[in-house]
Amino acid sequence: MSTSKKRLGSIVRHGLLGIWAIFALFPLIWMLIMTFKSEADVMTTTFIFTPTLDNYRQVLLQSDYLRFFTDSVITSVGAVLISVLLGVPAAYALARYKFKYKEGLAFQILSFRFAPELLVVLPLFMIYQRMGLHDTYLGLIWVYQLISMPLIIWVVRGYFEDISVEIEHAAQVDGYNWWQVFMKTLVPLIKPGLVSSALLAFIFVWNSFTFPLMLSGFNVSPVTVAAMRFLASHTVQYGQMAVAATISALPAVVFALLIQKHLVRGLSFGAVKG
Amino acid sequence: MTPSQTTAEIAVIPENINTVQFKTRIRPYLIIAPALLVTIGILIPFAMSIFYSLTNFDFRRRDYDFVGLRNWIGMFTSDVFWHALWVTIRYAFFSTGFALLFGLGVAMLLTSIDNAFSRILRVALVFPLMVAPVISTLIWNLMLNNSVGIVERFLNLFGIFGFPWHASHGTAMMTAVMIDVWVNTPFVIVLIMAGLQSLPKSPFESAKIDGGSAWFNFRKLTLPILKPYIYVALLFRLMASLQEFGIIFALTSGGPGNTLMNLSLSAHQRGFRFFEVGISLTYILFLWVVIFILAKQIVKRWQIAQRTATGRMADGSEG
């Protein structure tokens, strides 16, 4: 009686989870399948077809897609690098020093993340046009700091706080100066946190849409914006559309796999130490 | 140079104590300054937006007049605004609510099963969160398409033909919320899973001996400890869904008609299609105030819940 009840419970749980898994993963699988379908097969929605690489060939060789992809890479990598270079020392200061307005400053940095992006974008659009930053790499990299900087500062700060001050003292006693202590003892210890928050920041920047939609044009076009324009302007080639989507999703999914263990901490800006 | 005011540093008596003290006091600010400058440089627009919301600034004309609170009064007396506010509230309520509900459910299912199936899903279920929401919306758009979409073919099996999805006034909100939930539930799952894994074992074992029901266990033991995690999920999801732009823009640009015109999309339309920057900024500033107040409230509750939870955890490990 009790074992059969348990059995039933287990089946129900597996069933419910299975339903969710289909809902969550089917769109991605379907997209992947679409990429291998010829334009004629796309219309039939069957799963049996002769796979072709035509879509990939079209998108990668005969369209501007690689240029958009490169734009995404340049702006995302640039934004994350700047955030790491400036954010890690800031995170250190916020973790170690006691000073006036510390929590206020930290919260201020966090609040950048929650401010509506449009609030920044509208005036920035005017400023950028006047400064010549509109539709440039630098312009996008700069505005992306609002996405990547708070994330990196808050997550890395948490990792610094986890390191005992004693370790720093010991290194000082050994005769290291401040920079050496920082680079030789602290950086190795926060490395997992730093790498994971940098990769997560990369994903967020890579996926952002509102900023590049309004602050970039035809010179600099990240994939998110390019995909939208592609859809609006062309007679839609569904297979090629799917290829564009798949390739743009690839870096983020791969990075997410790499940082699994630290994902919670990054996603919650350090609020949850998983 | 020492990184903090350590005992070692204080022990060394400097020649000029005042300069050294000043240097140590100012050092943290100097270290933070570059990061702040880069982000605050971006925040100048924020101050500008408050100013411009009091003007009749227009992208087409380069000069503008100060109009006081006219934009604000105009906003509060316009039907467009109240409609946008209502859309914003419904969208945020449903997408946050369902994401939390499903996230909680799936996370509990995942932790209750321990086999290859659940271990694979723990990794794979995060994927939707990593795809750009705009791209996800495009994929859904293709799937829901009435001529080539696979969902249409699936529904045909049940005798449903040409379900309107985002094309009809009645189902557009549901469709947008569904996509939002698809994109964002993984975030909640990941958070709640972390919470569930932090649960202490002993109180559950004693409850089992006492014969507590599953619901009783959940309400009295699991929920209090999960609460801080739920608040973090609520905070992030609510803030983002109140200002959602990408998903709706990619799905219907606010249509059909004005069905999905929330505050963000209305502001975007005012600013970039009608060029009425002043009015557009009033919408967004209003939204920002709402978000700010809500965020403060949720953070307060989160901190209380966290204190309670850590108290309980300590009790649990002792008992």
Nearest neighbour of B42 by CB, restricted to A142, A153, A207: A142
CB contact under 8 A, B1 and A149: no
Of B28, B40, B3, B31, the closest CA to residue A85 belongs to B31
From B305's Cα to the closest Cα of chain A, the distance in A is 13
Q: What percent of chain A has pLDDT over 70?
A: 96
In order along its 319 residues, chain B shows pLDDT tens digits of: 334 444 444 444 444 556 666 767 777 888 888 888 777 766 677 788 888 888 888 777 767 778 878 888 888 989 999 999 999 999 999 999 999 999 999 999 999 888 999 899 998 999 999 899 998 998 898 888 877 778 888 888 888 888 888 888 889 999 999 999 999 999 999 999 988 888 777 666 666 666 667 777 777 778 888 898 999 999 999 999 999 999 999 998 888 888 999 999 999 998 888 888 888 889 999 998 999 899 889 988 988 888 888 777 665 544 3
State both tokens at A22: 């289909």
Note whether B104 contacts A: Cβ–Cβ < 8 A.
Answer: no
- All residues of chain A having their beta carbon less than 8 Å from the beta carbon of residue B293 are none
From B97's Cα to the closest Cα of chain A, the distance in A is 17
The pLDDT of residue A274 is above 80 = no
Nearest neighbour of B250 by CB, restricted to A27, A142, A228: A228
**Do B266 and B283 meet the contact criterion of CB atoms below 8 Å apart?**
yes
What is this model's ipTM? 0.88
* Pairs across A and B, CB distance < 8 A: 276
- All residues of chain B having their beta carbon less than 8 Å from the beta carbon of residue A97 are 4, 27-28
Instruction: Return the ∠ at Cα B301 (arms to B300 and B305), rounded to 5°.
Output: 125
Rounded distance between C-alpha atoms, residue A96 and residue B6, angstroms: 11
Note whether B70 contacts A: Cβ–Cβ < 8 A.
Answer: no
Note whether A6 contacts B: Cβ–Cβ < 8 A.
Answer: no
Nearest neighbour of B191 by CB, restricted to A207, A208, A264: A264
* pLDDT value of position B212: 67
pLDDT digits (tens, 9 = 90+) for A36-51: 988 777 767 667 777 8
Residue with tokens 């997992």: A192
- All residues of chain A having their beta carbon less than 8 Å from the beta carbon of residue B38 are 82, 86, 142, 145, 149
More confident residue, A157 or B35: A157
SS3 for B66?
A: strand
Note whether A201 contacts B: Cβ–Cβ < 8 A.
Answer: no
Note whether A29 contacts B: Cβ–Cβ < 8 A.
Answer: no
Rounded distance between C-alpha atoms, residue B157 and residue B30, angstroms: 66
- Sequence spans of domains, chain B: 79-318
Residue with tokens 């975030």: B187
What is the overall mean pLDDT for chain A? Answer: 86
Segment A149-173 shows an average pLDDT of 86
CATH fold of the domain at B79-318:
MetI-like fold (1.10.3720)
Nearest neighbour of B35 by CB, restricted to A119, A149, A264: A149
Nearest neighbour of A252 by CB, restricted to B124, B131, B232: B131
Of A212, A142, A215, the closest CA to residue A227 belongs to A212
Question: What are the Cα distances from residue A41, in Å, to A47, A53, A210, B149?
Answer: 9, 13, 34, 12
Segment A54-67 shows an average pLDDT of 86
Of A137, A133, A121, A125, the closest CA to residue A67 belongs to A137
Please tell me the pTM assigned to this model: 0.88
Backbone angles phi, psi at B258, to 5 degrees: -120, 25
Note whether B99 contacts A: Cβ–Cβ < 8 A.
Answer: no
Q: Which domains does chain A have, with CATH numbers?
A: 63-267 (1.10.3720.10)
Q: What does the radius of gyration of chain B's CA atoms come to, in whole angstroms?
A: 26
pLDDT digits (tens, 9 = 90+) for A11-27: 999 999 999 999 999 99
Rounded distance between C-alpha atoms, residue B242 and residue A6, angstroms: 42
State both tokens at B135: 């791209």
- Angle of the B79-112 helix axis to the B172-197 helix axis, nearest 10: 40
For A:103-142, CB contacts with B below 8 A are 105, 109, 111-112, 114-124, 126-127, 142
* pLDDT value of position B6: 44
* pLDDT value of position B272: 83
From B170's Cα to the closest Cα of chain A, the distance in A is 22
B68 conformational bin, left if phi > 0, alpha if psi -120 to 50, beta if neither:
left
Rounded distance between C-alpha atoms, residue B21 and residue B131, angstroms: 50
Secondary structure in 3-state letters for chain A: CHHHHHHHHHHHHHHHHHHHHHHHHHHHHHHHHHHCCCHHHHCCCCCCCCCCCHHHHHHHHCCCHHHHHHHHHHHHHHHHHHHHHHHHHHHHHHHHCCCCCHHHHHHHHHHHHHCCHHHHHHHHHHHHHHHCCCCCHHHHHHHHHHHHHHHHHHHHHHHHHHCCHHHHHHHHHCCCCHHHHHHHHHHHHHHHHHHHHHHHHHHHHHHCCHHHHHHCCCCCCCHHHHHHHHHHHCCCCHHHHHHHHHHHHHHHHHHHHHCHHHHHHHHCCCCCCC
Rounded distance between C-alpha atoms, residue A116 and residue A214, angstroms: 14
**Do B283 and B234 meet the contact criterion of CB atoms below 8 Å apart?**
no
